[in-house]
Amino acid sequence: MKAVRFHRFGGPEVLELVDLPDPRPGPGQVRIAVRAAGVNASDWKKRQGLMDEELPQTLGYEAAGVVDELGAGVLDVAVGDRVFGFCLDGAAQAELAVLAHYAPVPPSLDFAGAAALPAAVETATRALDRLGVGSGSTLLVNGASGSVGSAAVQLALGRGARVIGTAGPANQEYLRSLGAEPVGYGEGMVERVRALAPDGVDLALDVAGSGVLPELIALAGGPGQVLTVADFVGARDHGVRFSRGDDGRALHALAGIGELIEAGRFSLPVAGTFPLADVARAHRAGEAGHARGKLVLLVG
């Protein structure tokens, strides 16, 4: 099969499409003929050597496609079913991928829309669970218009929380359409939030990693009310919780998201699609930032 891989760290030019052995599903797993695979910020961090040291590396933790082989004991799907989910060995950007956790593709979504879901939905759900976001909470989301941020906004609203979200001018109407109260990021952000919530907020979630943890701590009343999924160094320096998933993943989120989508209570836009062979171009687009929604690679 063809798969994305790199043999050295560097810019997008190090990415290659190579031939690798076809993977086989283990017990409880399924193999899919990949139709779409999500692109995440962790992909270019890995490519730059900022996360994992070994070489060579494949890429991709989320994909959608058609089941073409079942592992032992799999009874909940059949060959030919459309599914999306997580490829735990980080090789989803390929023609074939093994999914360890999966769910049916919601009927209203195409493969690109389904491939955009797993990482954003799991990360947002995990963060909200760790923070204890529930009915009556006021949550501040820093970086609310990206894929994880907009997922967190919608899921928090679904829990009955009030949500204030930071975004640039071009994305504030989008946040408003989701039900959040938008504020501009940058200088004066604390004052803008306090204009909406004079007593501050109950909880704050940072998905942007933009260096504003001290401001979030001040608004939420202490580091214990703040969680970041994007700023490891800042979390260590300011005593804030950091969640990369090593503290347990919210895999239950996959099973429930389809119902919310079909009910019109959740959506995650696809910001752009690229053929698998154009993975370097997808990385360049992602690193440029400001994409509203998810970048997705199309296969086949």
- DSSP, residue by residue, 199-234: T--SEEEE-S--S-HHHHHHHHTSGGGEEESS-HHH
253-262 vs 117-131: helix axis angle to the nearest 10?
110
Q: Residue 222 contacts by C-beta under 8 Å, 6 or more apart in sequence?
A: none
With beta carbons less than 8 A apart as the criterion, state whether 176 and 169 touch.
no
Beta bridge partners of 141: 165, 205
- Report pLDDT for 248: 84
Cis? peptide before 275, omega within 30° of 0: no
Residue 137 to residue 15: CA distance in whole angstroms: 43
pLDDT-based confidence at residue 290 (cuts at 50, 70, 90) = low
pLDDT-based confidence at residue 229 (cuts at 50, 70, 90) = very high
* pLDDT tens per residue, range 230-270: 999 999 999 999 998 877 899 999 999 999 999 999 999 99
Looking at domain 123-242, does it have CATH number 3.40.50.720? Answer: yes
| pTM tops 0.75, yes or no | yes
With beta carbons less than 8 A apart as the criterion, state whether 99 and 68 touch.
no
Q: Residue 89 contacts by C-beta under 8 Å, 6 or more apart in sequence?
A: 23, 58, 98
CATH number of this structure's domain 2-116+269-298: 3.90.180.10
Beta bridge partners of 86: 62, 101
* Domain range summary for the chain, segments of one domain joined by +: 2-116+269-298, 123-242
Residue 151 to residue 129: CA distance in whole angstroms: 13
Of 231, 247, 249, whose CA–CA distance to 239 is shortest? Answer: 231
pLDDT-based confidence at residue 300 (cuts at 50, 70, 90) = confident
Residue 147 to residue 174: CA distance in whole angstroms: 12
Q: Specify the DSSP class assigned to residue 94.
A: B
Residue 270 to residue 275: CA distance in whole angstroms: 14
